[in-house]
Amino acid sequence: MDPYKFRPSSAHNSNFWTTNSGAPVWNNNASLTVGERGPILLEDYHLLEKIAQFDRERIPERVVHARGASAKGFFEVTHDISHLTCADFLRAPGVQTPLIVRFSTVIHERGSPETLRDPRGFAVKFYTREGNFDMVGNNFPVFFVRDGMKFPDMVHALKPNPKTHIQEIWRILDFFSHHPESLHMFTFLFDDVGIPENYRTMPGFGVHTFTLINKAGKATFVKFHWLPAAGERCLSNEDAVVVGGTNHSHATKDLYDSIAAGNFPEWKLCIQVMDPADENKFDFDPLDVTKTWPEELFPLQPVGRMVLNRNIDNFFAENEQLAFCPALVVPGVYYTDDKLLQTRIFSYADTQRHRLGPNYLMLPVNAPKCAHHNNHHEGFMNFMHRDEEVNYFPSRFDPVRHSEKVPIPSHVLTGKREKVMIEKENNFAQPGARYRSWAPDRQERFVKMWIEALQDPRVIPEVRSIWLSYWSQCDKTLGQKIAAHVGGKANM
């Protein structure tokens, strides 16, 4: 065995206790003292190492998506889309790619109940032959805001009050009263689908518009959809109280137990595609994350299936250290000018560097499974074995070369520097249409959620009037139903 290439693993554990450096520990029960009852000696290195290690066991939890559960499996292509993309892992039906998935709640702490009304994260890491592809999405197809500039303020508003450390609805309604683009998202969050029954019966969406590129360089806009084979099921407010009171980790337990029993969760991956030349033909901006693409115009097309057939081996190593970033794409998949996506390309990797260190992509769960090469080196927790003398490029002593050229969108960009809102906001049409598509009893449950929210004693009349105005512009009868119970008039 080459000791310089040995990576620590519990598979190589000795049959007796040792220090981190491998020295044998003959007593792991008692501290080294002066006499039987004397003070502890500073030279008891094993004690100091054990306590110091324990003090540092916890790493910073995620700012968002702190509460989550992971599982491993594979993705299998079932339909040929090679005419749309040159991505190797999508090259032909039957091709399988290993992956890991992390489901999560968004706002609340690492130990919070999984039954809270909150968006859910749905993040998939594909370990492809061309590097890792992170499809980072949510269980709703839209989002609260369309520009990343608003993201920190949005999270602050949704998080607990910094004075009381309690999530308070008046703060949420105050912030979003300034952002009518959030209405569509609230038709999901305050709807019957606001609390998934478990992770197995939860859909997932890429939310953003990405670009697929084929071998000829032709670009196609795409939206990703994960549809659960078990069907979508959710909890009512009343059921959530019962389930959460019984087990605050019900969704994590359900996922783990199902896989352990051989009842492997499965999802179908479907896509919607659009020719970029058509993006200005609609009354909404297709790159706006607060909008969906009408399925009658852009039908769902099946691509493949995902099966989760393995539980993780260690929660810390494969859940807490698992890190996603929507910037991680592979040849054949690229970004768009979606303003929120453009922000996340930086933000996600940056937060992981803060939380896990600059070399977080060396951690086994995050590392690519294909051969890779670069000159990034040193820094905290860098355990890459290197014996090269050349760590720069180019060099006559290092034969490494550029890869073959990868196609990326080539449209010409023109314009002046400016900070502007999306021109076609159209904030009310899609939320209103979604509300009108529901059965009457489902509409009433949505109305009840808003009545309760707007009756909070700290919601000021001005904010209440703004929300009545918003919902009236979505649907006149919806605004009237809410106003009949909360009082006040729409501030049109």
Q: Which of 104, 137, 146, 296 is nearest to 207 (CA)?
A: 137
pLDDT number for residue 408: 87
Check whether 9 has a pLDDT greater than 80: no
Amino acid at 463: V
pLDDT tens string 395-414? 889 888 888 888 888 888 88
Residue 6 has a pLDDT of: 61
Q: Is the pLDDT of residue 233 over 70?
A: yes
* 358's tokens: 């600059």
Report the C-alpha gap between 373 and 376 in whole angstroms: 9
Give the torsion sign (CA, 280, 281, 283, 285): negative
**In this predicted structure, which of 47-56, 264-273, 314-323 has the lowest mean pLDDT?**
47-56
Assign residue 91 a region: left if phi > 0, alpha if psi is -120 to 50, beta otherwise?
alpha
Q: What is the pLDDT of residue 445?
A: 98
Q: 170 in the Ramachandran plot: left (φ > 0), alpha (ψ -120 to 50) or beta?
A: alpha
* Strands (DSSP E) found in 229-334: 266-274, 301-311, 333-334
Spatial separation of the C-alpha atoms in residues 68 and 106, rounded to whole Å = 9
Which residue, 271, 237, 248, is CA-closest to 113? Answer: 248
Model confidence at 380, pLDDT cuts 50, 70, 90, reads confident
The residue to which tokens 């159209």 are assigned: 426
The pLDDT of residue 3 is above 70? no
The whole-number average pLDDT for the span 100-123 is: 97
How do residues 87-104 score in pLDDT, each as one tens digit?
999 999 999 999 999 999
What the block records as the tokens of 238 is 């009343």
Q: Where are the alpha helices (DSSP H) in 304-378?
A: 315, 339-356
pLDDT value, residue 373: 84
Q: What is the distance, to the nearest Å, from the Cα of residue 392 to the centroid of all Cα atoms in its chain?
A: 35
Q: Cα-atom radius of gyration of the chain, to the nearest Å?
A: 26
Whether the CA torsion 31, 35, 37, 41 is positive or negative: it is: negative
Cα gap 28→18, rounded to integer Å: 9
The strand pair at 301-311 and 68-77 is best described as: antiparallel
pLDDT at 208: 97
pLDDT on residue 2: 61
Amino acid letter for position 114: E
Cα 298 to Cα 456: distance, rounded to the nearest angstrom: 40
- Going 345 to 348 to 351 to 357, the CA torsion angle's sign is negative
Summarize pLDDT for 166-187 with one digit per residue, the tens.
999 999 999 999 999 999 999 9
For residue 54, count other CB atoms closer than 10 A to its CB.
9
Query: What is the C-alpha separation between 336 and 150, in angstroms, rounded?
Result: 19
d(CA 191, CA 121): 17
pLDDT of residue 190: 98
Q: What is the DSSP string of 130-172?
A: TEEEEEEEESSSS-S-SSGGGHHHHHHHHSPPTTT----HHHH
Which candidate in 46, 65, 108, 179 is catalytic? Answer: 65
pLDDT at 306: 98
- How many other CB atoms are found less than 10 A from the CB of residue 196? 24
Question: Residues 283-312: what's their mean pLDDT?
Answer: 97
- β pairing state of 219-228 and 204-205: antiparallel
What's the first-to-final CA gap in the chain, in angstroms? 75
10 has pLDDT over 80: no
Q: Is the pLDDT of residue 436 over 60?
A: yes
165 is catalytic: no
User: Given the structure tokens 């889309």, which residue do they identify?
Assistant: 81
Residue 389 in contact with residue 397, Cβ under 8 Å?
yes
Q: How far is CA 47 from CA 23, 24, 35, 464, in A?
A: 13, 13, 17, 59
Look at the alpha carbons of 124, 103, 323, 307 in this order and tell me if their dihedral is positive or negative: negative
Q: Which of 46, 108, 138, 359 is catalytic?
A: 138
C-alpha 223/C-alpha 209 separation (Å) is 5
pLDDT at 237: 96
The whole model's pTM is what? 0.94
Annotation marks residue 366 as catalytic: no
